[in-house]
Amino acid sequence: MPHLPVLLKEVIEYLNPQPNQNFVDCTLGDGGHAKAILERTAPKGKILGIDLDPKAIKIAQIQNSKSEIRNRLIAVEDNFKNLKKIVSDYKFGPVHGVLLDLGFRSEQLEEKGISFLRHEVLDMRFGPKSGELIGKEIVNTWNESELIKIFKIYGEEKNAIGIAKEIIRRRKIKPIVYSDELAEIVLQFYREKFKTKKRIPWVGGRHPATKIFQAIRIAVNDEINNLKSVLPQAIDILEKDGRLCVISFHSLEDRIVKKFFKQMSVACDFGAGKLKILTKKPIRPSEEEIQQNPRSRSARLRVAQKL
């Protein structure tokens, strides 16, 4: 299934790119958002696109290979937690808007053990520059309290204790190496919990292992700390009236963005607020978009403007 940029119409509406303006796409992905922005910022507007996945960089470059936009995309393989340094290194600016799409490429579901539906080694890193920690290490070496903590906080999993105990019991018998092995362990936990040998129903369309895989992936890529780090940097690099768009895909990310926007929009003893919130409530995808791209269903877009 080809990757479709989420909330594209809404992102373009709020970023409102104009001819010759410059934007930063902190999560370049396949370059769908970038392409739409570049088409509207001709003839001289540029995009600095950042992504940890070298495959995404290549795909985005191909996606934007038309002569009229090719030279206006600067694609960088790096972590967006280094945003200010990257902008400085490439002498990029002025910056009129910043986009953060916190989802990941559809193709990444088919590799690195990110999906529980495939037989892949539990790596889960978005790219080589994500760090040395991999999912297999977390599953096989972290102690019970550490597993419970990430399952509760990053996965918001109600059965964190029971699942952590089951993982530790099973890894004593045999190391847990592959994604489908871990998924089966979680399924087995639920079968025991509900006293059934039948297949556990996918509640709300979600596989029972979804939250566990999410928690491990977040821990491997240090996603929460990276998000907290990049938000103030994005504000710093923006020109006055520049806009920051953030698309999140689970409540933990959304709460962080919401809290940051609120804090930065309130005047304090040190001066006036730095942001004007443009979305009182997060923008959600339309039913039509969800039908075309089911993976967009959990997306939430929040937007703020620099004062």
Q: Which of 106-110, 115-119, 188-192, 200-204 has the highest mean pLDDT?
A: 188-192
Given pLDDT bands bounded at 50, 70 and 90, which one contains residue 267?
low
Give residue 111's pLDDT: 56
Question: Does 228 share its domain with 216?
Answer: no
Please check whether residue 2 lies inside any domain of the structure: no
Bigger pLDDT: 302 or 109? Answer: 302
Question: Does 271 share its domain with 215?
Answer: no
User: Closest Cα partner for 18 from 37, 44, 41, 48?
Assistant: 41
Tally of domains within the chain: 2
Cβ atoms of 46 and 31 closer than 8 Å: no
Please check whether residue 51 lies inside any domain of the structure: yes
Give residue 71's pLDDT: 85
- Within 13 Å, how many C-alpha atoms sit on residue 158's CB side? 3
- If you average pLDDT over every residue of the chain, what do you get? 89
Question: Does 155 share its domain with 290?
Answer: no
Given pLDDT bands bounded at 50, 70 and 90, which one contains residue 62?
confident
Q: Domain boundary at 172, 193, 221, which?
A: 221
Burial 25-45, CB ≥16 within 10 A → b, else e: bbbbbbbbbbbbbbeebeeeb
Question: Does 161 share its domain with 20?
Answer: no
CATH number of domain containing 94:
3.40.50.150
Give residue 37's pLDDT: 96
Mean per-residue pLDDT, 130-158: 95
Given pLDDT bands bounded at 50, 70 and 90, which one contains residue 1?
very low
Question: Does 216 share its domain with 115?
Answer: yes
Please check whether residue 126 lies inside any domain of the structure: yes
- Using the predicted structure, report yes or no on whether residue 21 has a pLDDT greater than 90: yes
Given pLDDT bands bounded at 50, 70 and 90, which one contains residue 114?
confident
Q: Domain boundary at 191, 221, 251, which?
A: 221
Question: Does 147 share its domain with 238?
Answer: no
Question: Does 152 share its domain with 283?
Answer: no
Give residue 196's pLDDT: 59
Please check whether residue 99 lies inside any domain of the structure: yes
Q: Domain boundary at 221, 247, 264, which?
A: 221
Question: Does 90 share its domain with 238?
Answer: yes
Q: Output the CA–CA distances (angstroms, integers) from residue 80 to 65, 134, 150, 247, in the order listed.
A: 23, 19, 22, 15
Neighbouring residues of 208: CB distance < 8 A, sequence distance ≥ 6:
186, 187, 190, 200, 202
pLDDT tens-digit series, residues 72-104: 999 999 999 999 999 999 999 999 999 999 987
* Domain around 54: 8-105+224-306
User: Closest Cα partner for 108 from 256, 221, 185?
Assistant: 221
Mean per-residue pLDDT, 223-238: 97
Please check whether residue 1 lies inside any domain of the structure: no
113 sits in the region (left: phi over 0; alpha: psi -120 to 50; else beta) called: left
CATH number of domain containing 195:
1.10.150.170
Please check whether residue 266 lies inside any domain of the structure: yes
- Using the predicted structure, report yes or no on whether residue 110 has a pLDDT greater than 70: no
Question: Does 59 share its domain with 133?
Answer: no
